[in-house]
């Protein structure tokens, strides 16, 4: 099976103490049998790392066909929308990543909503961090889900350690929300999510290389899904999301 | 020998349950030889009866279970008395604290007193760790500094933060206190555990599943995914906890 990891990282960012060049991830992908990975930096452009998009672009260009970039952008930045446009149209990036803790904005913040609407115009998915921290709670996504129903919003980590039920419940309520399995420590809750919202709305993600992609993949395999469910979770769901992205005739795209 | 250094048995007021026989079946399925068992917080709020229950489970399955008591430090002198009853009277082998579920800060004076008493009795303490406000790694570091004679194990790698932004706190706590170790259950980013092995040695990393909150089978997969020497993995998977409990004298290979 052609497996696509929908959530991984490449970056070398001293402030967080994480040095993960693309080769680190590629090696772990090879160990795990993962063909492609959606990747983003740890640092947000342009505030934490001015050249974050260029770094990501170059990393993915070196591993064309293996790595698929999402632009991680601070929505408070005055040029956030133009950066997003540059990332998608000029650099061929396929989505937007927002990490509320590092940009100090919850999902309902006006600047977040503005950038999400901009991404939705390209049909680009928006991957959000979710967890137990005060800016990352799943219930904070209700306003966004209501106000931007056309956006494809992926809730990473399924709500972390203590907000899994909120994440699944919110997806039951809003069709434009999906879940990724990365770092979710509870295999049985992934099975439950598939049962409650459908296998077509749950995406395999590893959050590698810090989280071991092989372990994250074993977590999915432990669920003993049907062949068609596994095909959706490990490939088809993210593949169809990426196919819908409108790059506007990108010249530098990473396809 | 594979030893799970923490599982919880009983029916918890917090909505999870695990019976002794269910745990034995899971251990068998996952090739786990022995397991540290501690009580849950029951519907009655009475931990004493739960301590009696884990003592009975240990007596019934002495080759499989190593029982720890669970005590609420806010009960003051009664808490110390309960710890002494469990260790000296019931033959329990350690103390488990769950500040989040009981509702106290681990660095409260009463909790520090209890942890020091455990050290005086020669038994280790496992703390359900990582909960901000209640059992953050730096709060546990404070306790460890006040109770240098006590071996303390922080579950969850000392952190419950799926951004990874609490790793520095857990790392600093480990760096500051030799009497601190970490359990592996649910740890976000396995490279944190790899860094701990490299910085502090494999002796201070213990396989904990914290079943049934976490899946015992998946948690052993987590330990097997840590990139380290196989001899070190044997320590993490069981020899370390046996050494801490004085049940095996084998040290670092």
Tell me which chain A residues have a C-beta less than 8 angstroms from the C-beta of B221.
Answer: 215, 218-219, 222
Tell me which chain A residues have a C-beta less than 8 angstroms from the C-beta of B160.
Answer: 132, 160-162
Contact between A242 and A83 (Cβ < 8 Å): no
Percent of chain B residues topping a pLDDT of 90 = 97
| C-alpha to C-alpha distance for B51 and B91, rounded to whole angstroms | 11
Pairing of strands A177-180, A4-9: unpaired
Q: Is the confidence at residue B251, as pLDDT, over 50?
A: no
| C-alpha to C-alpha distance for B144 and B152, rounded to whole angstroms | 7
- B95: which 2 tokens? 């103390």
pLDDT for the residue numbered A236? 98
pTM (two decimals): 0.95
Q: Is the confidence at residue A209, as pLDDT, over 80?
A: yes
DSSP assigned state of A44: P
| C-alpha to C-alpha distance for B23 and B9, rounded to whole angstroms | 8
Percent of chain A residues topping a pLDDT of 90 = 94
Taking every pair of Cα atoms in chain A, the longest distance, rounded to a whole number of angstroms, is: 47
Q: Is the confidence at residue B236, as pLDDT, over 80?
A: yes
For residue B81, give how far its alpha carbon lies from the nearest alpha carbon of chain A (Å): 33
A248 versus B136: the higher-pLDDT residue is: B136
Q: Is the confidence at residue A141, as pLDDT, over 50?
A: yes
Q: Which residue has the tokens 């998915």?
A: A125
**How large is the average pLDDT for residues B71-98?**
98
Residue A255 CB-density burial (10 A; 0-12 exposed, 13-18 middle, 19+ buried): exposed
Residue B102 CB contacts under 8 Å (≥ 6 apart), including other chains: B41, B72, B74
pLDDT digits (tens, 9 = 90+) for B145-156: 999 999 999 999
Residue B146 CB-density burial (10 A; 0-12 exposed, 13-18 middle, 19+ buried): middle
pLDDT digits (tens, 9 = 90+) for B185-212: 999 999 999 999 999 999 999 999 999 9
- Nearest alpha carbon to residue A244 among A164, A129, A124, A141: A124
| C-alpha to C-alpha distance for B160 and A47, rounded to whole angstroms | 27
Chain A to chain B Cβ contacts (< 8 Å): 66
Q: Is the confidence at residue A253, as pLDDT, over 90?
A: no
Mean per-residue pLDDT of chain A: 96
Residue B57 CB contacts under 8 Å (≥ 6 apart), including other chains: B9, B20, B37, B65, B67
Residue B81 CB contacts under 8 Å (≥ 6 apart), including other chains: none
CB contact under 8 A, A132 and B188: no
Percent of chain A residues topping a pLDDT of 70 = 97
pLDDT digits (tens, 9 = 90+) for B53-65: 999 999 999 999 9
In three-state secondary structure terms, B74 is helix
Pairing of strands A18-20, A11-13: antiparallel
> What is chain B's Cα-based Rg?
16
Q: Is the confidence at residue A149, as pLDDT, over 90?
A: yes
pLDDT digits (tens, 9 = 90+) for A110-122: 999 999 999 999 9
Q: Which of A101, A186, A215 sits opposite B225 (nearest CB)?
A: A215
- A166: which 2 tokens? 């909120």
ipTM: 0.94
Q: Which residue has the tokens 């709060």?
A: B139
Mutate one of A161, A188, A217, A219 to test the B interface: name it (highest B CB count within 10 A). A161
């Amino acid at each position: 099976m052609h497996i696509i990891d929908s959530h991984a990282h490449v970056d070398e960012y001293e402030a967080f103490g994480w040095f993960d060049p693309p080769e680190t991830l590629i090696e772990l992908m090879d160990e795990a049998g993962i063909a492609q990975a959606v990747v983003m930096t740890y640092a947000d452009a342009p505030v934490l790392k001015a050249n974050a998009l260029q770094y990501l672009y170059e990393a993915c260009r070196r591993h064309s066909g293996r790595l698929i970039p999402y632009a991680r952008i601070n929505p408070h930045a005055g040029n956030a929308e133009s950066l997003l446009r540059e990332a998608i149209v000029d650099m061929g990036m396929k989505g937007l990543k927002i990490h509320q803790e590092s940009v100090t904005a919850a999902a309902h913040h006006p600047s977040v909503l503005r950038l999400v609407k901009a991404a939705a115009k390209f049909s680009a998915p928006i991957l959000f961090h979710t967890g137990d921290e005060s800016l990352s709670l799943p219930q904070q996504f209700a306003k966004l889900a209501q106000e931007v129903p056309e956006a494809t919003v992926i809730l990473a980590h399924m709500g972390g350690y203590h907000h899994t039920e909120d994440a699944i419940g919110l997806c039951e309520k809003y069709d434009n929300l999906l879940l990724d399995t990365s770092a979710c420590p509870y295999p049985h809750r992934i099975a439950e999510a598939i049962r409650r919202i459908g296998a077509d709305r749950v995406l395999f993600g590893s959050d590698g290389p810090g989280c071991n992609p092989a372990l994250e993949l074993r977590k999915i395999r432990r669920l003993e899904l049907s062949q068609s469910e596994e095909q959706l979770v490990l490939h088809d769901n993210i593949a169809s999301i990426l196919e819908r992205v409108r790059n506007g005739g990108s010249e530098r795209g990473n396809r | 020998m594979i030893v799970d250094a923490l599982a919880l048995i009983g029916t918890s007021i917090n909505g999870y349950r695990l019976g002794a026989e269910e745990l034995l079946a899971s251990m068998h399925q996952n090739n786990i030889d022995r397991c540290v068992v501690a009580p849950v917080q029951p519907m009655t709020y009475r931990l004493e009866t739960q301590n009696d229950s884990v003592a009975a489970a240990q007596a019934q399955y002495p080759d499989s279970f190593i029982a720890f008591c669970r005590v609420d430090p806010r009960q003051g002198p009664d808490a110390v008395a309960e710890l002494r009853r469990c260790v000296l009277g019931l033959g329990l082998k350690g103390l488990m604290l769950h500040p989040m579920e009981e509702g106290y800060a681990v660095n409260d004076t009463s909790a520090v007193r209890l942890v020091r008493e455990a050290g005086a009795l020669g038994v280790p303490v496992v703390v359900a760790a990582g909960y901000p406000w209640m059992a953050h790694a730096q709060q546990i570091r404070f306790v460890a500094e006040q109770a240098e004679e006590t071996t303390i194990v922080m579950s969850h790698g000392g952190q419950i933060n799926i951004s990874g932004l609490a790793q520095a706190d857990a790392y600093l706590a480990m760096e500051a206190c030799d009497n601190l170790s970490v359990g592996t259950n649910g740890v976000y980013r396995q490279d944190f555990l790899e860094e701990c092995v490299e910085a502090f040695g494999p002796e201070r990393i213990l396989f904990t599943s914290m079943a049934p909150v976490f899946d015992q089978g998946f948690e052993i997969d987590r330990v097997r995914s840590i990139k380290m020497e196989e001899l070190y993995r044997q320590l993490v998977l069981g020899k370390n906890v046996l050494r801490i409990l004085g049940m095996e004298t084998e040290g670092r290979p």
